[in-house]
């Protein structure tokens, strides 16, 4: 007999753990979490490249229900975040709900619930929560000849710990967040780096500090001190929204800071010109680093200010025509963000997959529910990421909304999101993002779906506005009666 559960959550990263905690707090205890790997952690389990760290202050990157007074640094390294998530799963009791090494293969709506096929067998769920993350599948560039490159070729999110770096010539392709963290660390480990840069990044000084033992003890002994720090960090994050979202004066001030940072650390005028972005501040993810520019300006790094065009044996050929002979290639090329891999696995009540529903870009109501997919909640999905503050705040709010909605639903109810609400929500996102740098800033970024030109990853407002929106949800986002005809393309 196929096991049946009230709620099945897919994914045991931050979002999945938050969803399980909120459901338990709401009195929903028949919950199972499917995790394709053998450990919790999601992004922080997968990304183990040298130098990996969070660019959000650690005390704001922790779950509100599980503050952690013992972060060692203001910006936590990846391994420390992974250890934190293991601790949360174990001490909260959530770990016993997780089925490790169990990947979702197929999810189909049937009657009043979801039929799921997994690598561990079939099961049925009344409610399905997708907490799969948005940065899970590496984006691999199509580079002619790269498959025949004689040395190692790795993506930063599939790092090989056995990769020998000392004295080796390493090509790093990409200057996004991973590349900016990785390059200085490769230099410290004795590598000679050739850095392929398709477009320069806006980079601000990072700062950050190591917390003293006395500070950590004070946080542990005085929870109110830690709460006050979180509140302060939250306000600082909200204040950054203006510079990313269309405020000309705020954007100018921030770009001036970034350019001053560049000029202070790079003296060579040609190199400085290559490292100067040619698009609006905030159009792409704004990065934080104090050691990237010095590394690039050192003798250990050769900056190639153009894309990788092809590989010719052990030589990489840039779009500029320049040739670089290297021993290994690291692809710091990001993720497939606008087309979520899990979407192909989920089929709604009209026989249409979530991927098909999102053929012109991801859409939703309240960034969490999707028309044609009853009893489904998506965390970290459409328009639920941020360019200015901690994304943990967003997924926690979504988890709380999903939990109270599930807890309040009648036992046999099918919660069918209203297509009209999804359509209006999508139009609202378009209106609010039209004049932002994310859409009109003159760059290509992973926030905007190229198929429609819509902003589909980021929430265009503040965390406070998102929180108010979800807490005001009164059920009107769902149909009161089954619709005889439902639109599948908002």
Instruction: Let me know: does 426 contact 363? Beta carbons within 8 Å.
Output: yes
328-331 vs 169-173, strand pairing mode: parallel
CA distance 19 to 30: 13
User: How many other CB atoms are found less than 10 A from the CB of residue 101?
Assistant: 12
In this structure, the answer to whether residues 325 and 438 fall within a common structural domain is no
Instruction: Let me know: does 206 contact 75? Beta carbons within 8 Å.
Output: yes
**Of 433, 426, 434, which is closest to residue 488 (Cα–Cα)?**
426
Domain limits for position 377: 4-137+336-471
In this structure, the answer to whether residues 267 and 401 fall within a common structural domain is no
In this structure, the answer to whether residues 133 and 150 fall within a common structural domain is no
Q: Residue 377: give its domain's CATH number.
A: 3.50.50.60
Q: Which of the 8 DSSP states describes residue 211?
A: P
In a domain, 232, yes or no: no
pLDDT at 339: 85
Structural domains counted in the chain: 2
Name the strand (E) or helix (H) holding 300.
none
- Give the residue from 275, 299, 331 where a domain finishes: 331
**Of 61, 462, 77, 87, which is closest to residue 229 (Cα–Cα)?**
61
In a domain, 84, yes or no: yes
In this structure, the answer to whether residues 151 and 272 fall within a common structural domain is yes
Ranges under pLDDT 50 in the chain: 483-490
- Give the residue from 276, 297, 331 where a domain finishes: 331
Query: Can you read off the two tokens belonging to residue 374?
Result: 């009853």
In a domain, 484, yes or no: no
pLDDT at 481: 62
Query: Can you read off the two tokens belonging to residue 13?
Result: 């990263």
CA distance 426 to 420: 10
**In the block, residue with structure tokens 């500029």:** 320
pLDDT at 488: 42
Instruction: State the DSSP string of 111-155.
Output: TTEEEEEETTEEEEEEEEEE---SS-SB-----BTGGG-SS-EEE
In a domain, 234, yes or no: no
**Of 125, 155, 152, which is closest to residue 139 (Cα–Cα)?**
155
In this structure, the answer to whether residues 350 and 462 fall within a common structural domain is yes
CA distance 440 to 428: 17
- Going by C-beta distance under 8 Å and a sequence separation of 6 or more, which residues neighbour residue 3? 123, 124
- Give the residue from 275, 310, 331 where a domain finishes: 331
**Of 114, 71, 358, which is closest to residue 230 (Cα–Cα)?**
71
Instruction: Let me know: does 392 contact 13? Beta carbons within 8 Å.
Output: no
pLDDT at 151: 95
CA distance 63 to 60: 8
In a domain, 187, yes or no: yes
In this structure, the answer to whether residues 171 and 319 fall within a common structural domain is yes
Q: At what angle do helices 78-92 and 14-25 cross, to 10 degrees?
A: 20
Question: What predicted TM-score, i.e. pTM, was given to this entire model?
Answer: 0.95
In a domain, 419, yes or no: yes
In this structure, the answer to whether residues 455 and 344 fall within a common structural domain is yes
In this structure, the answer to whether residues 321 and 405 fall within a common structural domain is no
| Residues 179-215 as b or e (16 or more Cβ within 10 Å = b) | bbbbbbbbbeeebbbbbbbbbbbbbbebeeeebeeee
Beta bridge partners of 376: 128
287-288 vs 448-449, strand pairing mode: unpaired
CA distance 468 to 313: 56
CA distance 229 to 416: 40
pLDDT at 484: 43
In a domain, 480, yes or no: no
Which residues of 283-327 form beta strands (DSSP E)? 287-288, 301-304, 308-312, 315-318, 323-325
CA distance 163 to 154: 9
In this structure, the answer to whether residues 292 and 362 fall within a common structural domain is no
CA distance 224 to 291: 34
**Of 277, 246, 252, which is closest to residue 387 (Cα–Cα)?**
246
In a domain, 280, yes or no: yes
In this structure, the answer to whether residues 156 and 290 fall within a common structural domain is yes
CA distance 181 to 470: 34
pLDDT at 486: 41
**What value, to the nearest 5°, has the Cα angle with vertex 77 and ends 72 and 82?**
95
In the chain, how long is the greatest CA-to-CA distance?
Answer: 71
In this structure, the answer to whether residues 121 and 152 fall within a common structural domain is no
SS percent in the chain: helix, strand, coil, step 5:
35, 20, 45
In this structure, the answer to whether residues 251 and 317 fall within a common structural domain is yes
Name the strand (E) or helix (H) holding 420.
helix 419-433
pLDDT at 489: 44
């Amino acid at each position: 007999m196929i096991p049946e559960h009230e709620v099945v959550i897919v994914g045991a990263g931050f979002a999945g753990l938050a969803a399980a905690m909120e459901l338990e707090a709401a009195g929903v205890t028949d919950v199972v979490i499917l995790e394709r790997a053998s450990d919790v952690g999601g992004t922080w389990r997968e990304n183990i490249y040298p130098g990996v760290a969070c660019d959000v202050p650690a005390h704001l990157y922790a779950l509100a229900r599980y503050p952690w007074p013992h972060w060692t640094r203001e910006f936590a390294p990846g391994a420390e975040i992974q250890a934190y998530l293991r601790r949360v799963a174990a001490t909260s009791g959530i770990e016993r709900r997780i089925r490790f090494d169990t990947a979702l293969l197929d999810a189909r709506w049937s009657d009043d619930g979801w039929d799921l096929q997994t690598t561990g067998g079939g099961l049925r769920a009344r409610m399905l929560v997708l907490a799969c993350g948005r940065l899970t599948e590496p984006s691999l560039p199509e580079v002619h000849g790269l498959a025949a490159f004689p040395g190692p070729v790795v993506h930063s999110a599939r790092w090989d710990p056995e990769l020998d770096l000392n004295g080796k010539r390493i090509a790093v392709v990409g200057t996004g967040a991973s590349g900016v963290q990785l390059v200085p660390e490769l230099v410290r480990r004795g590598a000679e780096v050739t850095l392929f840069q398709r477009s320069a990044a806006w980079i601000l000084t990072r700062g950050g500090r190591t917390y003293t033992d006395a500070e950590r003890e004070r946080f542990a002994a005085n929870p109110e001190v830690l709460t006050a720090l979180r509140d302060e960090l939250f306000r600082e994050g909200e204040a950054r929204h203006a510079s990313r979202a269309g405020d000309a004066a705020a954007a100018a001030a921030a770009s001036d800071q970034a350019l001053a940072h560049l000029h202070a650390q790079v003296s060579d005028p040609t190199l400085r010109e290559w490292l100067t972005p040619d698009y609006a501040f905030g159009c792409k993810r704004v990065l934080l680093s104090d050691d990237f520019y010095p590394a690039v300006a050192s003798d250990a790094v050769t900056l190639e200010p153009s894309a990788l065009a092809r590989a010719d044996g052990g030589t990489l050929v840039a779009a500029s025509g320049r040739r670089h002979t290297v021993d290994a290639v690291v692809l710091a090329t990001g993720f497939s963000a606008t087309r979520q891999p899990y979407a192909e696995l989920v089929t709604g009540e009209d026989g249409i997959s979530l991927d098909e529903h999102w053929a012109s870009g991801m859409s939703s109501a309240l960034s969490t529910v999707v028309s044609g997919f009853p009893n489904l909640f998506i965390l970290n999905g459409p328009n639920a990421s941020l360019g200015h503050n901690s994304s943990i705040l967003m997924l926690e709010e979504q988890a709380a909304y999903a939990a109270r909605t599930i807890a309040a639903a009648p036992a046999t109810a099918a919660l069918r999101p209203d297509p009209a609400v999804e359509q209006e929500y999508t139009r609202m996102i378009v209106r609010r993002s039209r004049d932002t740098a994310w859409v009109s800033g003159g760059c290509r970024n992973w926030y905007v779906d190229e198929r429609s030109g819509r902003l589909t990853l980021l929430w265009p407002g503040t965390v406070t506005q998102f929180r108010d929106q979800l807490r005001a949800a009164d059920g009107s986002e769902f149909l009161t009666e089954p619709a005889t005809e439902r639109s599948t393309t908002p």
